[in-house]
Amino acid sequence: MTGRWGDVPKDTFISEPIQVDVSSISASNLGSGAPSCPMRFTWRGTTYHVAKVLESSKVLRAHDSSETYVKAHTFRVQTEEGVEMVIRCDRQIRGNPWRLFTVRYL
C-alpha cells in the first residue's frame, strides 16, 4: 500500500484489540510499572512475530497535582511478516488493554 507521494508507505488506522501471547513479554520492565513489548500477538486470526522494536513511548495524562499519570505505552514494531505496526497498552481499558493502532505494509 502506498501513499500519495509515490512509494512512501501509508499508515492505516486500525484501533482494534489484539491477543497478546503473554509468554512473549519480558518481565524486565514490570518492576517499574511499565509493560514490555510483546514479541508475539494475534490480530484478525493471524499471528505476528516482532522482529524489531523501532520505537517506544508513553502517553501522559496530566492531573491537577505535580504527579504525571501514564495513560498508555506505545510500541512501533517491525514484524517478521513484513508489516510495521503500532501497538498500544492502554491502562484505562478494563480487560484486554492491548490494541493495534496502525498498520503499514512495507
Distance linking the first and last C-alpha atoms of the chain: 8
Contacts by 81-87, CB closer than 8 A, 24 or more apart: 81/46, 81/48, 81/49, 82/106, 83/48, 84/9, 84/54, 85/48, 86/11, 87/18, 87/37, 87/38, 87/41
Amino acid at 44: R
> How confident is residue 50, by pLDDT bands cut at 50, 70 and 90?
very high
Span of 13-17, 46-50, 69-73 with lowest mean pLDDT = 69-73
Selected residue with higher pLDDT from 83 and 33: 83
Asked whether the predicted pLDDT for residue 4 surpasses 60, the reply is no
pLDDT in tens, 57-104: 988 776 665 667 788 899 999 999 999 999 999 988 888 999 999 999
Amino acid at 3: G
pLDDT at residue 1, rounded to an integer:
45
Instruction: Please give the backbone phi and psi of residue 37, each rounded to the nearest 5 degrees, phi first.
Output: -70, 130
Q: Where are the domains of the chain?
A: 1-39+57-101
Other beta carbons within 10 angstroms of residue 85's beta carbon come to 24
Q: What percentage of residues in the chain have a pLDDT greater than 70? A: 79
Selected residue with higher pLDDT from 30 and 4: 30
**Nearest CA among 17, 12, 14, 78 for reference residue 48:** 78
- How, if at all, do strands 98-105 and 68-79 pair? unpaired
